[in-house]
Every structure is written in C-alpha cells, then in structure tokens.
Homo-oligomer: A and B are copies of this chain.
Amino acid sequence: MTTVAVAGCTGYAGGELLRLLLQHPEMEIGALTAGSSAGRRLGELQPHLGPLADRVVQETTVEALTGHDVVFLALPHGTSAAVAAALPEDVLVLDCGADFRLTDAAAWRSFYGTEHAGTWPYGLPELPGQRPVLAGARRIAVPGCYPTSATLALAPAVTAGLVDGSDVVVVAASGPSGAGKSLKPHLLGAELMGSASAYGVGGVHRHVPEITQNLALLGAPAPTVSFTPVLVPMSRGILATCSAPLSDPSTDSAAARAAYAEALAEEPFVTLLPEGQWPQTQSVLGSNTVHLQVAVDAAAGRLVVVAALDNLTKGTAGGAVQCMNLALGLPETLGLPLVGVAP
C-alpha cells in the first residue's frame, strides 16, 4: 500500500479527496491535517466520511505530513509553497491550490497580488502531451475547476483548428462548494437558494489567466477569454457554456462532432454525448466524468460547446487522484467513479 496524507482535510476539497481515497484500492490514508480545526474529530466536520469519523485532525505541519508517499495539499492560496518546500523531493506532492499553476509570474502577480511561487507540471492529463509529463512527476499543480471545464470543452476544437482560441466566451454556472467553507454572507443558504448571481465579472476572476494559458498551450496564437462564473442553487457541479468564432464559417455541426469524437475516442473520463443530448451536471455528480456536447451556430458564426463536470470531483479531487495514478504508475482510472449519482 501507498500512504497518503491530506493537508486541509476539513474543507470541501479535502473531504472529496478523502471520499475518493477511501474507495481507492492502493492507498492507505495517513495523516489528516488542518489549521484551526486541529484537535477535533473528523466526524464532526465531515460527517459523510464515516470510516474516518474517529480520526483526530492534526495541525498542518511538516512533521505531520512527513513519512507519506503522497501528500495532497488542499490549503488556502499562497500557503502551499512553504509546506511543499519542506517535503522530500521523492514525495509526490499534489497541490489543489493555485500557487503553482501559472507559468507567467506577471500574470500571477496581477491576479493574486503576491510573489510567484513557481510552476509545477500542470495536472490536466487530457492536454495533448501532458500524460508523459505527469508520469513519474513528484510535484503536480492540480488545475482549477473552471479552467478544467473550459479547457476540456475547447481543447478538441482548438487542436483541430475549428477555432483559433481568440474571442472565446465562457459562462459557467456553478454550485457554491467551489468557494469552500468560507463564512461569507453571499454564501449563506438563504442567499443562494432560489437565486442565480454572477461574480468576478469582466475579466477579473483568478481563473482567467489559467484558461488563457491552456488555450495557448493548445496552440492558440492569441487567446482571449471573456469568463463569467454564475452561482446557481446546487451544492456541486459546473455547467460551462463555451463559444468561439469558427475559423471556417462553413464548418457544420457534423464536422465539429466528428472532430470531437476523434479527439475524445480514447479519453476515459471525457464523453461526447450522442447528437441531440445536452449535458446536465446531475449525470456526472460525484464522478470523475465530463460530459460534452458541441454544435455550430451558423448564423452567429460560433462553435458552442457545453461541458458538465463535478467541480469537486473531476474539477478538483478526482482530477488530483487521476494525476496521482499517473505519477505513481498506476492505471489512470484506478479507484475513480465513472458513474454519476443521479437523479
């Protein structure tokens, strides 16, 4: 068995990591650490994790995390670097935070306002050429949930040249679990239930440079994205509606579907739905699966792609475990649920 520690085990990302690791046949769960909740029973804070209910949360320290083969960091932005630096190089460290995702230090500073910690291999295996990078890696930056949805939605189109990655528009409906357990008024249930609201509008959301970076990686010569996240009343899930101008206005939906079908033929977690069927987040809830559908809007001259995923599973913890599998040389899909909890 391979031992694994989770730093930040009391948050939503940490809880989802543990839900998945409990189902994983090769992993033995070791230290569970957190900040202000240290000393409490995990069952008080994550009552759904029955088999770990009696575990006591330790404080997040290098000592507590040392001695494991794998360490997941699900910590506030800006705090991973110090922890990671103190762990041996041969320990696999996967950071679910943003610290090591961006390659451009100026973009980091502009959007996060602090010094750039560095860049780790980017944990999106579906990016062309990325699986060999992740195989054997010992530091992995797990992508953000919105960038995962937008990138997976658009990658086949950019790669196939259907669109060139400029003038991309992404509007993503999301549940509030992506914002974590922060005690903020706008995250209260009474504020969110029965209501939809936009936030981080106008190019200011921190996931914008990450989406742009991914489009560039896919070959977009001058990527731009107008990205708007919309909070909607569901605890989990992202439904991303992505569109971009067609490179060739004569491309039709059949051609677009063919390009997607070819690009996704071997992907275990990304499914192009049959023609006429559009993604719904319920179908992928709790799973590592992404559902895609694509259409050409000839009158508007745009390719439209809709992606559904679970922000906590494929969007965070499931994607992280998928990367872990690759880094450890295990089957990529090992222990990861393919089937959503619906209805």
State the A residues within 8 Å of B (CB): 12, 15, 19, 22-23, 41, 43-44, 46-51, 53, 167, 169, 171, 173, 175-177, 179, 181, 183-185, 187-199, 201-203, 208, 224-226, 228, 230, 232-237, 239, 241, 243, 245, 253, 271, 273-274, 277-287, 289, 291, 293, 295-302, 304, 306, 308, 337-343
Contact = CB atoms under 8 A, between A and B. Distances in A.
A286 B283 contact: no
A15 to B, nearest CB: 7
Contacts of A278: 197-199, 201
Give the number of copies in the complex. Answer: 4
Given A167-B245, A167-B300, A225-B300, A188 B198 contact: no
A302 B241 CA distance: 17
A105 B53 CA distance: 41
Contacts of A271: 50, 53
A179 to B, nearest CB: 8
Nearest to A195: B282
A211 to B, nearest CB: 11
A53 B274 CA distance: 10
A224 B274 contact: no
Contacts of A53: 271, 274
A47 B199 contact: no
Contacts of A23: 337, 339
B339 A277 contact: no
Contacts of A191: 189, 235, 280, 282, 343
Contact of A203 (B181, B189, B226, B300): B300
Contacts of A224: 299-301
Contacts of A342: 15, 46-48, 195
**A167, A306, A342 — most chain B CB neighbours (10 Å):** A342
A193 B189 contact: yes
Contact of A194 (B203, B277, B282): B282
Given A48-B341, A194-B235, A201-B304, 8 more contacts: A19-B339, A19-B341, A50-B289, A167-B245, A179-B190, A191-B280, A226-B302, A285-B341
Contact of A230 (B49, B184, B241): B241
A44 B233 contact: no
A22 B339 contact: yes
B175 A190 contact: yes
Contacts of A48: 282-285, 287, 339-342
A306 B173 CA distance: 13
A234 B341 contact: no
A181 B293 CA distance: 25
A285 B12 CA distance: 15
Given A171-B171, A343-B177, A277 B202 contact: no
Nearest to A238: B196
A308 B21 CA distance: 24
B196 A280 contact: yes
Nearest to A291: B47
A221 to B, nearest CB: 15
Contacts of A289: 50
